[in-house]
Amino acid sequence: MGKNIMLSDKAYNALSKVKRGSFSDTILWLLEERKATAGRLVELFEQQNQLIEQQNRLLTQLVEQLRRLNARLIELKASRRTVEFSVRQVEENVEHRESSNTPSFLQDNPWVEILQRREG
């Protein structure tokens, strides 16, 4: 035998709009729908967690690549400073040679350096 339950007018009107057979059938159907909806929500949350984990892995890879690129950039900056220093030295040597009165056959002659060491 069925049981009587008290419903507010608002609940009664809402159940009437979705009524499927008797009110008991409608309530059972709504409870089943709730279970199915909860199951779909669990699936969606699991998919969302998988996507977040994948995103975190990709972000970790990106951070590692950025660290490597930053280290390489530091190396390149140091190399650039060395090259700039070497270029300045060469430019100074060229300017010195151009301004000196030394004949060209004596410039960059290793024997001149050797003889200068012997005299010194």
Residue 81 belongs to domain spanning? 9-92
- Torsion, CA 114, CA 117, CA 118, CA 120, rounded to 10: 160
Q: Per-residue pLDDT for 104 more than 80?
A: no
Q: Per-residue pLDDT for 99 more than 70?
A: no
Residue 28 falls inside a structural domain: yes
Answer whether 47's CB lies under 8 Å from 54's CB.
no
Residue 118 falls inside a structural domain: no
Residue 20 falls inside a structural domain: yes
Residue 58 falls inside a structural domain: yes
- Looking at the structure of the chain, the number of domains it has is 1
| pTM score above 0.75 | no
Residue 115 falls inside a structural domain: no
State how far the alpha carbon of 89 is from the alpha carbons of 40, 65, 66, 78, 114, in Å: 73, 36, 34, 17, 21
Mention every residue, 6+ apart, whose C-beta is less than 8 A from residue 100: 107
Express each pLDDT in 53-93 by its tens digit: 999 999 999 999 999 999 999 999 888 888 888 888 877 77
Express each pLDDT in 23-60 by its tens digit: 888 889 999 999 999 999 999 999 999 999 999 999 99
Structure tokens at 24: 């008991």
Residue 3 falls inside a structural domain: no
